[in-house]
Amino acid sequence: MGRRAMGCMPVLVLFCMVLRVAPSGGIKCGGVLSAPSGNFSSPNFPGPYPYETECTWLIVVAEGSSVLLSFSHFELEYHAACAYDYLQVYNGASRDQGNLLGTFCGRSAPPPFASAWHVMAVVFRSDRHVAKHGFAATYHKDACGGQLTGLSGEIASPRYPESYPNDAECRWSIRATDGPLTLIFADFQVEGSQGCGFDYVALFDGPTAAAPHLGRYCGSTRPPRIVSSTQHLFILFKSDFNIVGRGFKARFYSGECQEVYTTIKGNFSSPQYPNFYPNNLQCQWSIQLPPGYRIKVFFLDLELEARSSLTSGCDYDRLDAFDGGAENASLLGTWCGRESPVPVTSRSHQLLLMLHTDRSTAKRGFSLAYVGVVPMNVSCTRTDFHIQIPVQALAQLQRNKVYLGMPSCVAQVVGSHFRIHTRFDTCGTESQRRNNTSIVVSTLYIDFSVGDQEDIHRYEVQCEPKRKEASVSLIAGPDPHRLRQAENMVDVQQRGAGAMDVHETKSQDTSDIVFISICILAGLLMVIAVVGLVLL
């Protein structure tokens, strides 16, 4: 169950999962293999395997290592879709289809496999007809290099975070399950030198060192984010005979497990949403808008593994939001379980979301939308609104796409700004009382619509004339139709009505209602008193 108790608990839980799929009929197969290396085979190998058999082998090596698996013999009953007898290899526990590396049958042996972490599972099943000789497999722990496949994973120099050894040479060949690969270094300290000729990390845009060279790095400065142009990335780490460092740790992401968004609005979801996400993920989504913008995130659906009953924290699977472009930025929030988070707004023009899942218990995941909060300066006097927006922030828009209250009150272009200067008695402005304070309120419209696709962002602009204090808040941004589609996918009980409405509750002036109520009550009391006098 992940990191739930003592160090032995994960292996015990996974062992229980193996016992649940143990074969019937007294046939002995499967189990937990925890030695650094070993071999296993189908029941009765090299003789024919028995009918109606199901076996699961769980290979667990030291954390920080990967499992290398290869097959020396392979012969199962053939079917085009491997529907009869088959063998499956999983990158982790076998309970999650998101970890499935492949399903095999016939006489063609599976290729060598390397896990993206320290656990691998192999499942063998046979039906009631046609038995072949089965298979024989060998595995061993690889603490340095390997062939990795998956949505995400992590690599590190030998002995990290302790100093790496001299004369080390490690090679990682990573293949994405979908789309290009992104590599991000979380830590980096390698002996530095001119030209990185002693100890270094070299990156190549392909499956081998013969692919185009992406860069060579050493010293204590973390390399930049690396994005491959193909589904492959090759990493070479070498150290010489003298001077060592702490080494490095890096994470790779592929396909729907990583993305960078630069548009004014967007939406995305966890891998395989609304189906269960895979285990052992470290995914990240980065929103990067022009300087001056802020980012508001709306949670349409969220269902992750529940909080720990011991700590009440999000110890297993969690979604983190950071107020910036990296993990060391301020934390905006952490969520798990079936929560309905309120919208969050960044203080900068970048926001990072990271999904961490452990080795068990997958859920539906999340779906969210975001919108860029346009940078603007709003001020007021006792009689007027003043609004300024940098033209650069709305570079693709004409001035008639920015207006206050009604389309006739359009912005003017003055220098490098869209500018609106209007009196309170025009442009749809109205007076209200909130919290016993008189304010003037209007709505600023910024129309990003293209063709038939309506996309109008609305901001509430308000002023307290006595104090000459103005403020602005986003009322609506992302496409309401898209939000309704997402909300229909989840339980009504989980959704809060009006997820995209203004985040500030509008107070209403109730003084008139109170006054009328008092008058009615006084009238009733007078009638009762008169009736009482008449009766006396």
pLDDT one-digit tens code per residue, 383-402: 999 999 998 888 778 888 99
Least-confidence region, from 90-94, 346-350, 407-411, 483-487: 483-487
Q: Name the more confident of 156 and 499.
A: 156
Regarding whether 123 and 26 lie in a shared domain, the answer is yes
**181-189, strands of its sheet edge to edge:** 152-156, 247-254, 181-189, 226-227
Amino acid 378: pLDDT: 94
Position 139 in a domain? yes
Is-contact 132 49, C-beta < 8 A?
yes
Amino acid 19: pLDDT: 41
Position 500 in a domain? no
Mean pLDDT of 478-491: 42
Regarding whether 334 and 387 lie in a shared domain, the answer is no
Regarding whether 134 and 25 lie in a shared domain, the answer is yes
Position 330 in a domain? yes
Is-contact 92 115, C-beta < 8 A?
yes
Least-confidence region, from 253-257, 418-422, 474-478: 474-478
Q: What is the SS3 assignment for 104?
A: strand
From 97, 112, 143, the end of a domain falls on 143
Mean pLDDT of 194-208: 95
Amino acid 104: pLDDT: 96
Q: Which residues does 531 contact at the CB level (< 8 Å), separation at least 6?
A: none
From 227, 255, 283, the end of a domain falls on 255
Where do the H-state alpha helices sit in 153-225?
none
Cβ neighbour number for residue 497 with a 10 Å cutoff: 7
pLDDT tens digits, 317-365: 999 999 999 888 999 999 999 988 999 999 999 999 999 998 788 899 9
Tokens (6 digits) for 290? 């022009």
Position 519 in a domain? no
Residue position matching structure tokens 């990583």: 258
pTM: 0.59
pLDDT grade, residue 295 (50/70/90)? Answer: very high
Amino acid 101: pLDDT: 84
**Domain interval for residue 214:** 148-255
Regarding whether 50 and 161 lie in a shared domain, the answer is no
CA 483 to CA 368: how far, in whole Å?
9
Mean pLDDT of 467-487: 64
Check pLDDT > 70 for residue 234.
yes
**How many domains are contained in the chain?**
4
Residue 460 C-beta-side C-alpha neighbours within 13 Å: 16
pLDDT tens digits, 498-523: 333 333 333 333 334 444 555 566 56
CATH number at residue 189: 2.60.120.290
Regarding whether 407 and 327 lie in a shared domain, the answer is no
Check pLDDT > 90 for residue 453.
no
Amino acid 330: pLDDT: 94
Position 238 in a domain? yes
Position 529 in a domain? no
Position 504 in a domain? no
Regarding whether 384 and 425 lie in a shared domain, the answer is yes
Amino acid 488: pLDDT: 43
pLDDT grade, residue 490 (50/70/90)? Answer: very low
Amino acid 393: pLDDT: 87
Regarding whether 15 and 52 lie in a shared domain, the answer is yes
Least-confidence region, from 111-120, 121-130, 204-213, 368-377: 111-120
Is-contact 205 159, C-beta < 8 A?
no
pLDDT tens digits, 363-386: 999 999 999 999 999 999 999 999
Regarding whether 382 and 361 lie in a shared domain, the answer is no
Position 475 in a domain? no
Regarding whether 135 and 15 lie in a shared domain, the answer is yes
Mean of the per-residue pLDDT values for the chain? 83
Regarding whether 88 and 15 lie in a shared domain, the answer is yes
Regarding whether 296 and 212 lie in a shared domain, the answer is no
Long-range contacts for 427-434 (Cβ within 8 Å, ≥24 apart)?
427/385, 428/404, 429/385, 429/405, 432/506, 432/509, 433/507, 433/509, 433/511, 434/506, 434/507, 434/509
Cβ neighbour number for residue 449 with a 10 Å cutoff: 10
Regarding whether 152 and 139 lie in a shared domain, the answer is no
Amino acid 125: pLDDT: 96
From 255, 276, 303, the end of a domain falls on 255
Percent of the chain whose predicted confidence (pLDDT) is above 90: 52
Q: Which amino acid type is present at position 478?
A: P
pLDDT grade, residue 21 (50/70/90)? Answer: very low
Q: Transcribe 261-322 into DSSP letters.
A: E-SSEEEEESTTTTSPPPSS-EEEEEEE--TT-EEEEEEEEEE-SPPPTTT-S--SSEEEEE
Mean pLDDT of 74-101: 86
Check pLDDT > 60 for residue 6.
no
